[in-house]
Chains A and B, each alone.
Chain A
Amino acid sequence: MPAEIYLNVAVSGLLTGLVYGLMALGLSVIFGVVRVVNFAHGEMMTIAMYIAVTLFAALKLDPLVMMVPIAAVLFALGYAMQAGLINPFITRPEHSQFMLLIAVAIILVNGLLIIFGPDARSVQTSYSFDSFLIGPLIVDATKAYAGAAAIAVAIALFAFFRFNRIGKAIRACADNYMGALVVGLDVKRLYALTFGIGAACVGAAGAMLSLVIDVTPAIGPAYTLLAFVIVITGGLGSMPGALLGGVLIGLTEALAGLFFTPSAKTMFAFGILVLVLLFRPQGILGRRQA
Chain B
Amino acid sequence: MIGRLVEGTPRRGLVLLAVLLMAFLAAPLVANDYMLTVLILILYFSYTGQAWNIMMGFAGQLSLGHALYVGLGGYAAAALYFHFGIGPWLSLPLAVAVAAAAGAILGFLAFRFGVAGVYFAILTIAFAEFARVGFDHFTWVGGSAGLFLPVANYTRNDLWTLRGNPTMFYYVILAMTVAAFVLCHLLLRSRAGYCWQAIREDEEAARALGINTFRYKMYAVVLSAGMTAFAGVFFAFYYNNLFPEQVFSISRSIELILGPIIGGVGTLVGPIIGAFLITGLAESLREVMHALGVDVPGLKQVFYGLCLLAVVMFLPDGIWPPLSRALGLDRDSSRGQGT
With a CB–CB cut-off of 8 A, which chain B residues contact A104?
A: 305, 309
Question: Which of A109-117, A175-183, A200-208, A244-252 contacts its partner?
Answer: A109-117
Would you list which residues of chain B between 50 and 90 have a CB under 8 Å from chain A?
Answer: 56, 62, 64
Complex Cα distance A283/B273, Å? 41
Would you list which residues of chain B between 118 and 136 have a CB under 8 Å from chain A?
Answer: 118-119, 121-123, 125-126, 129-130, 133-134, 136
Considering only CB atoms and an 8 Å cut-off, how many residues of chain A contact the other chain?
Answer: 43
With a CB–CB cut-off of 8 A, which chain B residues contact A228?
A: 122, 125
Complex Cα distance A94/B265, Å? 14
With a CB–CB cut-off of 8 A, which chain A residues contact B118?
A: 37, 94, 98, 236
Q: With A96-B312, A267-B133, A278-B115 given, is the CB distance from A110 to B298 under 8 Å?
A: yes
With a CB–CB cut-off of 8 A, which chain B residues contact A85?
A: 313
Complex Cα distance A281/B301, Å? 34
Whether a CB of chain A sits under 8 angstroms from the CB of B308 is: yes
Tell me the interface secondary structure of chain A in the complex: helix
Q: Mark B227-252, 1 if CB is under 8 A from A, else 0.
A: 00000000000000000000000110
Contact indicator A110/B299 (Cβ below 8 Å): yes
Would you list which residues of chain A between 106 and 145 have a CB under 8 Å from chain B?
Answer: 106-107, 109-114, 118
Whether a CB of chain B sits under 8 angstroms from the CB of A264 is: yes
Complex Cα distance A102/B306, Å? 11
Whether a CB of chain A sits under 8 angstroms from the CB of B2 is: no
Considering only CB atoms and an 8 Å cut-off, how many residues of chain B contact the other chain?
Answer: 41
Contact indicator A232/B122 (Cβ below 8 Å): yes
Contact indicator B115/A266 (Cβ below 8 Å): no
Complex Cα distance A88/B313, Å? 9
Q: With A106-B305, A107-B306 given, is the CB distance from A94 to B125 under 8 Å?
A: no
Whether a CB of chain A sits under 8 angstroms from the CB of B210 is: no
Q: With A94-B118, A98-B62, A232-B119 given, is the CB distance from A264 to B254 under 8 Å?
A: no
Contact indicator A225/B125 (Cβ below 8 Å): yes
Q: Mark A residues whose CB is within 8 Å of B.
A: 37, 85, 88, 92, 94-96, 98-100, 102-107, 109-114, 118, 217, 221, 225, 228-229, 232, 236, 261, 263-264, 266-267, 270-271, 273-274, 277-279, 281
The 5 sampled A-B contact pairs (Cβ below 8 Å) are: A107-B302, A107-B305, A228-B125, A264-B136, A271-B130
Query: Which are the 5 A-B pairs with shortest beta-carbon distances?
Result: A106-B305, A113-B298, A110-B298, A107-B305, A103-B308
